[in-house]
Amino acid sequence: MKLEKVISPIKKEMVSFRNLLKKSISSNNILIDEVINYILKRKGKEIRPVIVFLSSGICGKINTSTHRAAVLIEILHTATLIHDDVVDESNYRRGYFSINALWKNKYSVLIGDYLLSSGLNFSLDNDDFKFLKVLSNSVKEISEGEIIQMKKSKSLNVDEKLYFKIIEKKTASLFIACCEMGSISSSKSIKDQKRLKELGLNLGLAFQIKDDLFPYINSDSGKPISNDILQKKLTLPIIYSINKSSYMDKKRILSAIKEQRDFEYILNFVKKMGGVDYSVEKMNFYIQNSKKIIDNFKSSKYKSAFYILLDFLSNRNK
C-alpha cells in the first residue's frame, strides 16, 4: 500500500505545509541553516502531519490553523529524533548519517533546542495557545517515556505492561497530539476531539509495535535486531518470548542481551517462541480499534484516506 494514496486528497495541503515548515525553521545563521537544509532534504514519510490534516478534514474543514498545527507537530517530532539519536548514540537515521554523526553531540542537542524554540515562537506569533497546551503535554510524556526506558534498560526489567506504558508515552503521545490538534483546528465538538485522541492512541501503539517487529520480519528495513540489543531495549516480541520460555532459556537470552552477543540466536529464539505472531496480533488489535473509531465519522475523502493509512501502517516494510 503506497502512502501516495493516503496523501492524494491532501496533496495541495502537503505542498503548502512543506513551504511553511521551511520558512518557520530557517535561520540567518549559516551553520544552522546548513543543518536545517540537510534535515529538510532527508525528511521521512511525514506521517504525523498527514494525520493532522486527515484529523482536521474528518471533523470539519482544513484551514490555516491546521497547517500551523502540522508544522508545529513536525518541528517537535524532528527535534525529538535528533535528541533520540544523541541519547542512543546512533549514527544513522533513515539510511543517512544522523545529525550527531556529522555535527557531533553538543551541536545536535543545540539544533534540537533551536527547533523546539522555533516551534514555540511560531505558535506564539500566531496565538496558537490551544496547540501549545496539547504539545507541552506531549513533550512531557515523551521525555518521561525516554527516562523510564533508559532506567529499565540497565536492569533489563521490562514486562509487557511497562512496555506499553513506555510506547504510549514515547510514541503514541505524539500521535494523540496529531489527532487532537487536527480536530481542534476545525471543530469545536468535544465528542469529536475525544474520539480523535483515542484514535491517536491506537494509531501510535500500532505504529510502534510494527516498528519493533521490523528486525524479525524484514531484514531490509534498516533496523537490525543488533540495534535494539546494543541499546538493551526489550521490545514486545522479545518480552513475550522470554515470558514463555524456560528458566534456562530466559537466563541465556538475558545474558546474551547484557553481553550484546548471539544476535542470530536471539532472532531465531523470538520467532520460535511465537513473539512475532503475538506482536502482529497485538498490532492488528489496535488497527481494528482505529477502524472502529473512524467508522463513527460521516463519509468523506478524508475518512477513506484514514482507512488507507491504517492499511499502510500495518503493511509498511520500513
Question: Looking at the chain, which runs of residues are DSSP E strands?
Answer: 92-93, 96-97
Question: Packing angle between helix 30-41 and helix 11-25, nearest 10 degrees?
Answer: 160
Q: How many whole angstroms separate alpha carbon 274 and alpha carbon 291?
A: 26
Report pLDDT for 108: 87
Residue 103 lies in a domain: yes
Report pLDDT for 212: 94
Nearest-Å Rg of the Cα atoms of the chain is: 20
Q: Indicate the average pLDDT of the chain.
A: 91
Q: How many whole angstroms separate alpha carbon 199 and alpha carbon 294?
A: 8
8-state DSSP, 96: E
- Cβ pair 176, 200 in contact under 8 A: yes
Report the pLDDT averaged over residues 65-73.
Answer: 97
pLDDT, one tens digit per residue, over 44-56 is: 889 999 999 999 9
Q: How many whole angstroms separate alpha carbon 198 and alpha carbon 289?
A: 9
- The sign one gets for the Cα dihedral 134, 75, 111, 130 is negative
Where residue 181 sits, what CATH number does that domain have?
Answer: 1.10.600.10
- Cβ pair 183, 193 in contact under 8 A: yes
Residue 92 has a CB neighbour count (10 Å cut-off) of 12
| Domain count for the chain | 2
Residue bearing the bigger pLDDT, 152 or 21? 21
Residue 313 lies in a domain: no
Report the pLDDT averaged over residues 183-206.
Answer: 97
Whether residue 173 sits in one domain with residue 257: no
8-state DSSP, 126: T
Query: 1 pLDDT exceeds 90?
Result: no
Domain extent for 180: 9-127+164-187
Whether residue 265 sits in one domain with residue 203: yes
Whether residue 46 sits in one domain with residue 30: yes
Q: How many whole angstroms separate alpha carbon 102 and alpha carbon 108?
A: 9
Whether residue 78 sits in one domain with residue 173: yes
Residue 234 lies in a domain: yes
pTM of the full predicted structure?
0.94
Query: 37 pLDDT exceeds 90?
Result: no
